[in-house]
Amino acid sequence: MKGIRDILVQLTRSGPRWPRLTIYTIVFFAVFGDFIASDIPLYCKVNDTVYLPLIKSAFVNMGAATWEEDLSGGNWKSINYQKVAYTLIPYSPSGIDSKNGNFRSPFGEQNVINWRFRHWLGTDALGRDVAAGMIRGCRIALIVGLFSMFIALLIGVPFGAIAGYFGDDRKLKAIPVMITWVVAVTCACWYFGQSVVLSLKHDMTGRALLMFLIGSAILAIGWAVDRLISQRLPDRWLRGMPVDFTVLRGVEIVRSMPAFFLLFALLALIASPSIIYVVLLIGLLRAPTIVRYVRAETMKIRDLGYIDAARVIGLNDLQIIRRHIVPNVMGPVMITVAFGIGGAVLLESGLSFLGIGLSIDQMSWGRLLNEARSNFSAWWLAVLPGLAIFATVAAFNRIGEDLTTVLEHGR
């Protein structure tokens, strides 16, 4: 069976080029978007002093630097520059141009100083630049798609490989112990997530540290309860459950719930919306698909000759899973990942369209579509984000189809 590197090399040499060009374009705008659309100047000269505000803003946001007195006003358009150079699009995604609010068309009249400050893709109701929002949407789509599937892989690959390799020949721990760890890990992940969110808001030493310590304490309590249950409960309470049976029942429980409505309900309970919660929840809901796929692939190869040879030379079960099972199932799993990225982008766009999931100051393709609901004549707010979502989902789905073809020819 081909390795992941060989599959990727063959994939770049086969199939149409438009899916790869689409993904390359999204990655480019996601990585370099701040240097393409921003109301912070790339270069300026104030009081005979030269500054690079856009580059320094990254350090200021991390708390590693502070603004000079000449640039501390915050309103970049009102500073008296001797010289200034803006990005290609001199507007940030969340910046408001009050003079061009109320849905200015790309081809209509706009109240700007000169053509350099024109909104080339129009504005929304508040006067936010649509081009800047489209570029920021590339970053949101890439973050949600890649990181949610990364979380799904972290959960799905171990559970799927263990379920497929051991089948029902091995027993899991007692049900009370399993319940204890599920509750402890879930609560700890919640507090760890709160810690990350607060850290991103530059509250590194206050509540962020407290949330991290609470999460760690919950894991410690879970471990102590595990030890107590294992030593105190009678043997009849400590009967294990078959590995494959238990994993499949958990997968069926999660898959029986409609993903979109479950996300809608969970995100509505969160007081401070954040992209971190969206990524985490989508990753958890996509994990069962990875579990089933990895389980099926593992069951195909667990009795092959090279697995028996690994047992003969003395490798234990976990070593066999790590060295031989997982590397050989990752190629086919990439097909599911490719389709899953497109599905995650579509799911996040649907949530943003309904106004939930992301914080108010974050711009995405779905949020631009939501703006079009208040004015059906603002066609640019429906057509442009809609085309971006369609192209992204179609590109990743085509990559998944090409991966399927490559693997079928390589078997």
Percent with pLDDT over 70 in the chain = 84
Q: Using an 8 Å Cβ cutoff, are 292 and 336 in contact?
A: no
Q: What sign for the dihedral angle of Cα 373, 377, 382, 384?
A: negative
pLDDT in tens, 217-242: 988 998 888 777 767 665 554 455 67
pLDDT in tens, 162-184: 888 887 776 555 556 666 777 78
pTM of the shown model: 0.80
Q: What is the pLDDT of residue 376?
A: 85
Between the two ends of the chain, the Cα-to-Cα distance in Å is: 6
Q: What is the pLDDT of residue 216?
A: 87
- Residue 91, φ and ψ in degrees, nearest 5: -140, 145
Q: Using an 8 Å Cβ cutoff, are 386 and 339 in contact?
A: no
CA–CA separation, 34 and 93 (whole Å): 10
Residue 134 has pLDDT above 90, yes or no: yes
pLDDT in tens, 76-101: 777 888 899 999 999 998 888 889 98
**CB contact burial 164-202 (16+ within 10 A = b; e otherwise):** bbbbeeeebbbeebbebbeebeebbebbbbbbbbbbeee
Segment of 44-53, 65-74, 191-200 carrying the highest mean pLDDT: 44-53
Strands 83-85 and 49-51: unpaired
Overall average pLDDT of the 175-194 stretch: 72
As given in the structure block, the two tokens for residue 351 are 């949530």
Torsion of CA 160, 163, 164, 167, to 10 degrees: -170
pLDDT in tens, 383-406: 999 999 999 999 999 998 888 887
Which residue pairs from 270-276 have beta carbons closer than 8 angstroms and sit at least 24 positions apart in sequence? 272/197, 272/359, 273/356, 273/357, 273/358, 273/359, 273/360, 274/197, 274/358, 274/359, 275/140, 275/143, 275/144, 275/357, 275/358, 275/359, 275/362, 276/193, 276/196, 276/197, 276/200
